[in-house]
Each structure stands twice: as structure tokens, then as C-alpha cells.
Amino acid sequence: MRVHVDPERCQGHNRCYSIAPELFDIDDLGNAHEVGDGVVPPGLEEKAQLAVANCPEFAISVS
């Protein structure tokens, strides 16, 4: 499983970062991006899905 933040859609709500800081990081402006290549380590799949389901801007996808 892999997560990805669409930088065009992200508005810096920081919901993903508070739910799963293992999978998402934010820059100084509060914009989120996936950690590394976005691959979700085993055991964090549920957190990844939660991050998707809580993004107000529908900016996160899993593949």
C-alpha cells in the first residue's frame, strides 16, 4: 500500500499529520506530503485509510 498527497488539493488542514505522523509530514507552510516514497509499513494500513477518510479536501489517495 502507498499513500500520496496531491499538492494541488492540500490546503494544510494537517489532519493526516495528526492522525499518522509516521506516514505524513508537513512543510513550514503547513502543506502535507507523504514520508519518503509513501509506502505504508505493515501495521499502518488502517491509519493510512483514516488519513484518507479525514482529509476535508480529498487530497490523499492510496494505491
Partner 1 sequence: MSTRPPVTDFATDFDHTDPRWVADPYPIWDDLRVRCPVAHSDRYGGVWLPVTHEGVAAVAYDTEHFTSRAVVVSELRPNEFAPPAPVGLAPPITSDPPFHALARRLLLPAFSPKAVAGYEVFTRELCSDLLDAMQGREVVDAALDYAQHIPVRVIVQMLGFPQEDADLFRRFIHMILEDVGQSPEERLEQFEGGEIDAYLDERIEDHLARPREDLTTFLLEAELDGNKLAPEHVRGTVLLLMIAGIDTTWSAIGASLWHLAQHADDRRRLAGEPSLMPTAVEEFLRAYAPVTMARLVAQDFEFQGRPLKEGDWLLLPFPAANRDPAAFSDADRVVIDRAENRHAAFGLGIHRCIGSNLARMELRVALEEWMKRCPEFTLVDPAAVTWSAGQVRGPRSIPVRLG
Per CB under 8 A, 22 contacts partner 1: no
Q: Which among 63, 49, 43, 41 has a CA at the least distance from the CA of 16?
A: 49
Per CB under 8 A, 14 contacts partner 1: yes
Contact 13, 49 (CB under 8 A): no
Nearer CB in complex with partner 1: 54/61: 54
Contact 19, 51 (CB under 8 A): yes
Per CB under 8 A, 12 contacts partner 1: yes
Contact residues for partner 1 (CB under 8 A)? 11-15, 17-18, 26, 28-30, 50, 53-58
